[in-house]
Amino acid sequence: MKITALFFGVFAGCLSCIPAHAADYLWNGGNGSWTDSGAWRLDDSSADWSNGNTAQFQTDSSITVGSGISASGMLYNGAAITLNGGSLTLTGAAAGNNGGSATLSNTGLILDAPNAEDSYEVRDTSLTGSATLAKTGAGTVTLDGAHTASGVWNINAGTLVFTGERNITASDNNRINGKINIASGAVLDASNGRLFHNGVYTANFQSPTITLNGGTLKLNQFGYDSASLGKLHNNFYALKFASGTSSRIVISQGYESGGTASRGIYIAGWGTTATIELGANQTLTWTSSNAQNQDAIVCETGAGSALALAIGENSVLYFNQVFANKNTSGEYGDPTTANFSGLSLIKSGAGELVIQRANTISSGRTVRVDAGKLTLEVDNAFGAGSNLGNVSIASGALFSMNGHTLANVIDVQDGATLDMGGSSYACMVNWHEGGILLNTENNKGTLNIMTRAALELGSKAWAGSVLTDTDTVFTLTADQNLGALGANVNCWTGGRGYNNTLQSITFTGGHGINIDNYGAKWAVILSENVTFQDIGSLTFSNNAADMSNTEALYGAGAIAANDTVAFSNTGALTFSNNSVSADSGASGGAIYASGGASFTSTGAISFSGNSAMTHGGAIHTGGTTGSLTFSDIAENISFTGNTAGENGGAINNDYETVEWSSVGHVAFSGNLAEAGAGGAIWSGGDVTVNTAASFSMTGNEARDGGGGAIYSDGNVTFSGVGALTFSDNHASTYGGAIGAYGDITISDSGAASFSGNTAYEGGALDAYNVAISGNTGTVLFENNSAENAGGAINLQGGGSISLTADQADIIFRGNTVQDGSVYNAIHFNDGAMASFNAADNRRILFEDGLSSQDESVVDISVNDAAGAGGTVAMSGANSQSGIRANTTMYGGTFSVSSGATYGYHSADWSTEEARTSFTVSGGSLHIGEQAALNAADVRLEDGTELSVMGTGSLNADTLTLGNNVSILGTGEGSFSITANAIDISNGITIDLSRGSMISLELHADTLTLGGTLALGDDQVDYTSSIWQRDQSYLVMDASGVTNMDGTFSEILSSLSDSATITVGNLGLEGYDPSLELGRWELRWDEGNALHLDWISNGLVVPEPATSLLLLLAAGGLLAVRKRTI
């Protein structure tokens, strides 16, 4: 950058160095001519001037300037000089020192800064007489001083910063002295200077004073008697914007505390853009007060020019100006406002433009709100009648009608905002994608939605016609009743366009909607897609759609969509007593969504008393495809008293999924499917509940189909539900609570209760597969009933049931079939199977029986899962399971007790087409008092246990015991085993851990014995007094056996691995561990009964607390206990 200083490097505020090529020429003194021979000194020698060097003056002088003189700088060192005539080009700084100054009289001064980076100052220099000024070059020059010269200033290029004063008077009646011309791209910055005299300016208005030819003028203030313009005459000729150019006046300061400017401008020719820019933090009222319009904004008739108002941040321009056409009959006649045309208005910048006076923007012209805010304070601000230009609002801009009427068409572009302020009339509003509409109440004009648009709706919605052929977003800025839209709305809020096509509608904005008692041909809102997002509470009540005379293919009482309906981040949603009727397509009493519906992050949801002539008393989704989902909703969700003429008393979903995920308490009660299935829910796809605080379905009814609460053509799944309740639901066919063609799964939830549900089959559940696992609370099936089969659960042919009590019990109690005469928990149809797994200390309890279809045999696995060591129990007199089953248990306990029966009992297995089995591969089979286990083939494999109680029985065709099978008997009486063949050839273990033994009463054609009879006596306390005398136990009564083969080879104690018990076997430390306490012997009596006899040696062993044990028979010390037995 070239910033020049003079002579000795520093002077009068100049801080830069002399250019390397310039030399300092010193004027010799006295008067003369700049170009006189020897008039200068250079290096103390007389010299002639050479252009491009610096000039220094040290004595007062009057110097005549020739033509073509140029200097790179001037210094007036204590001298007052006068430069007369000629032309002087200055390319560097000029200033006085020690009181020095220069006066240029009638001289043409050219200030040249060739390069954009060049910058210098000219101070202590005044122009007088007819001196002129020209600024050339792309750089910046700062000019100070007081000037009275009448010559023209031409700002041809770069920037002239004027910080001085011009005090100029007129020379005649038709010319203005001191004219200023600013060329294209050039800048005159007078924001810290004054261009005209501050006294009364006595000049005629007929010649322009400042002409902008594409340049920029920067000012402090703007009007008459203002800081930068002084008392420049106030008529439109004073400021001229040359034809075809784009020029700018920047008001950078002066109105920080407000102010008023009366100032006319002339926008000449055609295609001219005149920009008035108001800087930041200013408040200005721009007005016109001259009755002859001399201080108006004047343009050529039909010129197609534009006034651009750029308003800075935090600034307000109050526009009280007049648009007028130049007088065509007289060059200097008064401008006219009649039939005005030719001017557009452009608003830009972040600040606000306030229109306080009406002007006409004619057809073919426009009002553009490109940025910031434009506000109306007058009706018909841009013309009245027809043939007017449009108002166009750009993205990010705001046009506020402020309650006033407007006859122009308003185009709201993407991201633009129109605030109507409750205006009574806007001729037409064309909405484009992303537009926002505010405060439209009472507006009876036409809303024409051109492209995808975003509109804002205030306390009331649009009152006129709404035409749409596009997707539309409505933003609510206040709670409102959309019922106020009135009959003129073309099928509600743009839902159905003027070309009879359906589009998409979105409501948003944090406020609520209440629509009550609206009667329509199809729905309150009809659209391709309907979305409610980020809004307040919604209430649709008592709305009735009558489809008897409509071309619509479907309808709903409140909302109907050809594709989707979505609710996201809303307040409470209430749909009550809405209905749709009079057509086969009348589905969804409140909502119909052919492509599905979703509820996400809403407030509480309530559907009550809604009804549909066909399907979905409250909601119908998936006319072709589409799911119904509820997700991330902490508040309650309830469906109460909704009715469908056919399927889905509350919800009908044709093909896809009905799903709840991460929701609070969900409740369905009193919903009715009058002539169909799914008293509460009918789904052609899956029904899924994934994480809910609770899910309750009570008193729902399907009068002509399955699923009193839920019917699904797919699967029904509950996972992560805190509490699950199905009570008092009824289906006329299958599944009083749930009927599914697929699977029913309940997992990882809390307590689950199915009670009082009724159906023809499957009082609670009817499904292909049923799986229950991972529940932390009790799963209870109680008092459900079926007319035919499956009091609690009916399992379809080929299906399976998996019950896993891994964290809490699963209980079946009081479930019945056949009018309550038979207690039945589960019915298995042909080919069905089951898996029952109970974890340690958990149980699956059947107080009701299991049944199977006719001759079909069910495969049942018990505790086949890892860690399944709990109990599967058939308990009580009501648990009579005549099921034909192949049952295999792998661990834990299978218990039949308290009068229960498990398994089909055949009088003659040889006549049966299908055999059944019960196999104990691991764990313990328990058969209690008055209880019975029946199967064709019963096998206890190696190392398993048979736990029996007196009066219990086992009935089979064959009974086979593997190696090391342990029999534990308790209670009174004997345990009966009846079989064609009993095989105990691998020995048997009698468990004495309970301190008692019951006999086995055997009835068989063949009994095979062999191996060892082992005693499980390692927990027996042989120090007890009962073992000091002989004992005898009846092991088995084989009197009912026809043929017996073999016998037990020996008897072995598990404590001693022999028949003898010694002191050493007890772990006693003492004198003689070989001393015998007694021995065991086997004895068959004449009645084919096997006895187990204990022959005691009569040794007395003291209590364990005595450290020295007296062995009386030995007569001395025997031992000290090492451990307690």
pLDDT band at 826 (very low <50, low <70, confident <90, very high): very high
Q: What is the pLDDT of residues 884-912, one digit of tens each?
A: 999 999 999 999 999 999 999 998 998 88
Nearest to 744 by CA among 824, 791, 801: 801
Q: Please state, for a pLDDT cut of 90, what percent of the chain lies above it.
A: 64
d(CA 1097, CA 1062): 10
> What was the pLDDT predicted at 973?
85
Residue 491's pLDDT is what? 37
**Cβ neighbours of residue 1103 under 8 Å, at least 6 residues apart?**
none
Mean pLDDT along residues 185-193: 95
Question: Per residue in 705-741, pLDDT tens?
Answer: 999 999 999 999 999 999 999 999 999 999 999 999 9
How far is the C-alpha of 679 from the C-alpha of 559, rounded, in Å?
22
pLDDT tens for residues 704-714? 999 999 999 99
Q: How far is CA 145 from CA 122, 195, 824, in A?
A: 8, 11, 113
Q: What is the pLDDT of residue 13?
A: 39
Residue 457 pLDDT level (bands cut at 50, 70, 90)? low
Mean pLDDT over residues 825-853, rounded?
A: 96
Q: What is the β-pairing status of strands 1031-1045 and 1060-1062?
A: unpaired
CA distances from 487 to 177, 509, 518, 519, 794 (A): 68, 25, 11, 11, 54
Q: Phi and psi for 145 in degrees, rounded to 5?
A: 100, 170
Instruction: State pLDDT tens for residues 735-769.
Output: 999 999 999 999 999 999 999 999 999 999 999 99
Q: How far is CA 756 from the centre of its chain?
A: 39
Provide the β-strand partners of residue 94. Answer: 74, 122
Query: Looking at residue 483, what is its pLDDT?
Result: 46
- Residue 198 Cα distances to 225, 233, 261, 265, 448, angstroms: 7, 11, 16, 20, 54
Q: How confident is the model at residue 206 (pLDDT cuts 50, 70, 90)?
A: low
Percentage, residues of the chain above pLDDT 70: 86
**858-885: b (≥16 Cβ within 10 Å) or e:** bbbbbbebeebbbbbbbbbebbbbbbbb
Total number of residues shown for the chain: 1125
- Which candidate, 669, 667, 650, 658, places its Cα nearest to that of 630? 658
Answer whether 358's CB lies under 8 Å from 381's CB: yes
pLDDT at 458 over 70: no
**Sequence-distant (≥ 6) Cβ neighbours of residue 759 within 8 angstroms:** 706, 708, 730, 731, 732, 733, 734, 735, 736, 739, 766, 786, 787
- Per the CB < 8 A criterion, the answer to whether 1038 and 1027 are in contact is no
**Burial classification of residue 661, based on how many CB atoms lie within 10 Å of its CB (0-12 exposed, 13-18 middle, 19 or more buried):** middle
Task: Report residue 1123 CA to chain centroid gap.
Answer: 69
CB 637 within 8 A of CB 661: no
Query: What residues contact 1057, with CB distance under 8 A and at least 6 apart?
Result: none
pLDDT at 624: 66
In this structure, the number of other CB atoms found within 10 A of the CB of residue 243 comes to: 15
Cα–Cα distance for residue pair 738/729, rounded to 1 Å: 9
**What's the confidence (pLDDT) of residue 492?**
42
- Which range of 21-30, 511-520, 868-877 scores highest in mean pLDDT? It is 868-877
Strands (DSSP E) contained in 899-1030 are 901-902, 917-920, 924-927, 932-940, 945-949, 953-961, 966-970, 975-984, 988-991, 1000-1009, 1012-1016
pLDDT digits (tens, 9 = 90+) for 315-336: 999 999 999 888 877 666 788 8
The per-residue pLDDT for range 524-543, each reduced to its tens digit, is 777 778 889 998 899 989 88
Decide which of 479 and 843 is more confident. Answer: 843
Highest mean pLDDT range out of 203-217, 263-277, 878-892, 1098-1112? 878-892
The reported pLDDT for the residue numbered 168 is 79
In single-letter form, the type of residue at position 288 comes to S
Please tell me what DSSP assigns to residue 107: -
pLDDT higher than 50, residue 348: yes
How does the average pLDDT of the chain come out, rounded?
Answer: 86
Least confident segment among 289-293, 746-750, 947-951: 289-293
Token readout for 23 is 């030399």
Residue-level pLDDT at 1112: 35
User: Is pLDDT above 90 for 858?
Assistant: yes
Q: Pick from 562, 590, 572: which is nearest to 532 by CA?
A: 572
What is the predicted pLDDT for the residue at 17?
34
Give the mean pLDDT of 213-225: 92
d(CA 559, CA 607): 13
> pLDDT band at 5, cuts 50/70/90?
very low
pLDDT at 1122 over 80: no
Given a cut of 50, whether residue 214 has pLDDT beyond it is yes
DSSP-derived 3-state class of residue 910: helix
Q: What is the pLDDT of residue 522?
A: 64
Statement: residue 157 has pLDDT above 90: yes
DSSP per-residue codes, 167-184: ----SSSS--SS-EEE-T
- Of 661, 659, 502, 665, the C-alpha closest to 596 is 659
Sign of CA dihedral 640, 641, 647, 652: negative
CA-based nearest residue to 964, from 980, 948, 946, 981 = 946
Residue 413: pLDDT band (50, 70, 90) is: confident
Per-residue model confidence (pLDDT) at position 1118: 35
CA atoms of 317 and 320, how far apart (whole Å): 9
User: Helix or strand or coil: residue 445?
Assistant: coil
Containing H/E element for 340?
A: none
Q: What is the pLDDT of residue 585?
A: 67
Q: What is the pLDDT of residues 581-591, one digit of tens each?
A: 876 667 889 99
Give the three-class secondary structure for 858: strand
Are the beta carbons of 694 and 722 closer than 8 angstroms?
yes
Per-residue confidence band for 338, with pLDDT thresholds at 50, 70 and 90: confident
For 986-1000, letters b (16+ CB in 10 Å) and e give: bbbbbbbeeeebbbb
Q: Model confidence at 834, in pLDDT bands (50, 70, 90)?
A: very high
Strand pairing category for 843-846 and 816-817: unpaired
Instruction: Count other C-beta atoms under 10 Å from residue 777's C-beta.
Output: 16
Say what the pLDDT of residue 972 is: 83
pLDDT at 502: 57
Q: Quick one: which of 769, 766, 660, 656 has its CA closest to 707?
A: 766
| Average pLDDT of the residues in 962-987 | 93
Q: Using CA atoms, how far apart are residues 967 and 944, in angstroms rounded to an integer?
A: 9
Mean pLDDT score, 25-46 = 91
> Could you count the other beta carbons within 10 Å of the beta carbon of residue 922?
20
* Confidence (pLDDT) at 948: 94
Question: For 1078-1121, how does the pLDDT look when each residue is reduced to its tens digit (9 = 90+)?
Answer: 999 999 999 999 999 999 998 776 544 333 333 333 333 333 32
